[in-house]
């Protein structure tokens, strides 16, 4: 393996800026190169940690109120004349709140994408390695605060690769990894919270940063599937998971 040609592309990889063709080649290289895999995981983790650490400062309530509040009476804030009436202020605040909720939803998606990418780049992507659901399901007992239902994969093109415990928004989540042909699909299972609820209702597969994702809720649990495989395969695996739930 010639790692030199990939060293300069590691940052573009973790930033999801590699063109599709190069991404495929690089992922192929990662599967056979422990050194590059470790480096990719380290950079991915540093990027994730930097994102969290970098969101450090918030404007003071007073400043935010001056900028966004319903009483823009100070002359220097007269750029918000629309907020001069209470009705406009209510609409404005409601819109702002909705945007914040959407933005937080995107943050969660970014976090899940990062975890999937880090898992794919890892030499040891899962902690329990088994294609037998009877081994993987009990492995999660005591590690996550819910039971992880496994899909029936009989007669399908999917195989179970294994699982691991991930942390999403500081809460434990089961990450199941499936294989279909040369592709991998991560399915995160976690308790539904107000944060995960922002992922929304099941709307079928959608395209995010080059991956196909699908998310839904069932019995108080949130499911999030992500893969670079085509959306039909993602949908089929999700349907199998739903049937089992």
Partner 1 sequence: MRLEAADRVRAGVEAGSSFEELATPLLKPLYNFARWLSHNDHEAEDLVQESFAKALKSFSSFQQGTNFRAWMFRILRNTFLTSRSKSLVHVSIEEEGEEMLLPPDPQTPESILLNSGLHERIQVALGRLPVHFREVLLLCDVEEMRYQDIADTMGLPIGTVMSRISRARRLLRGMLAEDELRVAR
Length of the chain, in residues:
245
| Minimum distance from residue 17 beta carbon to partner 1 (Å) | 5
Q: Is 96 in the site for partner 1 (CB under 8 A)?
A: yes
Query: Looking at 30, 108, 109, 229, which residue binds partner 1 (CB under 8 A)?
Result: 109
Q: Is 103 in the site for partner 1 (CB under 8 A)?
A: yes
Q: Is 16 in the site for partner 1 (CB under 8 A)?
A: yes
Closest alpha carbon to 149 in 158, 138, 157, 165:
138
Q: Pairing state of beta strands 221-227 and 183-191?
A: antiparallel
Q: Is 239 in the site for partner 1 (CB under 8 A)?
A: no
> What six digits make up the tokens of 205?
């597969």
Residue 173 is given by DSSP the state E
| Minimum distance from residue 82 beta carbon to partner 1 (Å) | 6
Q: Which is nearer to partner 1, 23 or 153 (CB)?
A: 23
- Residues 191-210 interacting with partner 1 (rule: CB under 8 A): 207-210
Q: How many CB atoms lie within 10 A of CB 44?
A: 22
Residue 36 to residue 119: CA distance in whole angstroms: 13
Q: Which is nearer to partner 1, 67 or 87 (CB)?
A: 67
Could you tell me which stretch among 99-107, 128-136, 174-182, 187-195 binds partner 1 (CB under 8 A)? Answer: 99-107
SS3 for 66? helix
Element (H, E) at 62: helix 61-68
Q: Is 68 in the site for partner 1 (CB under 8 A)?
A: yes
Residue 137 to residue 107: CA distance in whole angstroms: 29
> What six digits make up the tokens of 52?
């969290």
Q: Pairing state of beta strands 211-218 and 183-191?
A: unpaired
Q: Which is nearer to partner 1, 69 or 151 (CB)?
A: 69
Query: Looking at 11, 127, 132, 239, which residue binds partner 1 (CB under 8 A)?
Result: 11
Q: Is residue 168 within 8 Å of residue 134, measured between CB atoms?
A: no
Q: Is 17 in the site for partner 1 (CB under 8 A)?
A: yes
Q: Is residue 18 within 8 Å of residue 26, measured between CB atoms?
A: yes
- Residues 33-52 interacting with partner 1 (rule: CB under 8 A): 38-39, 41-43, 45-47, 49-52
Q: Is 167 in the site for partner 1 (CB under 8 A)?
A: no
Q: Which residues contact partner 1 by CB under 8 A? A: 8, 11-12, 15-20, 38-39, 41-43, 45-47, 49-60, 63-64, 67-68, 76, 79-80, 82-83, 92, 95-96, 99-100, 102-103, 106, 109-110, 207-210
């Amino acid at each position: 393996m010639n790692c030199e040609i990939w060293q300069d592309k590691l940052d573009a990889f973790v930033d999801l800026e590699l063109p599709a063709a190069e991404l495929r080649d690089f992922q192929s290289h990662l599967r056979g190169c422990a050194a590059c895999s470790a480096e990719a995981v380290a950079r991915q983790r540093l990027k994730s940690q930097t994102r969290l650490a970098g969101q450090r400062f918030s404007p003071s309530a007073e400043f935010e109120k001056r900028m966004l509040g319903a009483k823009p009476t100070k002359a220097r804030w007269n750029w918000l004349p629309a907020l001069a009436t209470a009705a406009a202020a209510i609409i404005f605040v409601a819109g702002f709140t909705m945007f914040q909720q959407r933005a937080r939803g995107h943050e969660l998606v970014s976090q899940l994408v990062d975890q999937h990418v880090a898992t794919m780049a890892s030499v040891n992507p899962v902690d329990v390695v088994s294609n037998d659901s009877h081994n993987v399901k009990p492995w999660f007992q005591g590690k996550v605060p819910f039971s992880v239902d496994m899909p029936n994969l009989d007669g399908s093109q999917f195989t179970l690769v294994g699982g691991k415990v991930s942390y999403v928004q500081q809460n434990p989540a089961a990450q199941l990894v499936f294989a279909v042909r040369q592709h991998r699909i991560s399915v995160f299972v976690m308790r539904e919270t107000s944060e995960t609820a922002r992922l929304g209702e099941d709307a079928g597969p959608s395209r995010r940063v080059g991956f196909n994702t699908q998310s839904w809720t069932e019995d108080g649990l949130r499911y999030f599937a992500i893969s670079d495989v085509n959306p039909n395969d993602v949908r089929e695996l999700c349907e199998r998971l739903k049937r089992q739930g």
